[in-house]
Amino acid sequence: MTLQELYRSIDGSYDQALRIMRSEKLIGRQILKLADSGLLDALSRAASDMDAAAIFESTHAIKGVCANLGLVRLSEKASGLAEEFRPGSPRRLSDGEAGAGLAELTELFQRTLDAIRGYEAGL
């Protein structure tokens, strides 16, 4: 599998990542680091505790990292949840709705990381 094929399989934008990083080699290195970043673990812990500050921190970090890597779906989903839990902002979602959104983000992130690990195994 090529890096571009990986991006297609995870609904990412290789072109966006290339515009930001300017090098396929750099994209390849950085996307592999995502699998070991600990971001998914932090999100899972925050979501299970429904710790608003930790949810904001983890979703905000995921939003930024994924935007830079061209992982558009992940970035957009994380962005919505980061705004929901932004300190000082009123909550719009019930805990149940927010929990469902966090579960969706966690599942999407896990599938993305599984695909990245599959890509890495083929290198």
pLDDT in tens, 13-62: 999 999 999 999 999 999 999 999 999 999 999 999 999 999 999 999 99
CATH of the domain at 45: 1.20.120.160
| pLDDT score recorded for residue 32 | 97
Would residue 54 count as lying in a domain? yes
Would residue 123 count as lying in a domain? no
| pLDDT score recorded for residue 96 | 96
Segment (H or E) for 117: helix 95-121
Would residue 86 count as lying in a domain? yes
| pLDDT score recorded for residue 80 | 97
Please report, rounded to a whole number, the percentage of residues in the chain having pLDDT higher than 90: 99
Residue range 91-98: mean pLDDT, rounded: 96
Nearest-Å Rg of the Cα atoms of the chain is 15
| pLDDT score recorded for residue 67 | 97
Query: What is the number of structural domains in the chain?
Result: 1
CA distance to 33, 70, 75, 92, 101, per residue, from 15 (Å): 19, 7, 15, 34, 27
| pLDDT score recorded for residue 94 | 95
123 compared with 105, residue with greater pLDDT: 105
Would residue 33 count as lying in a domain? yes
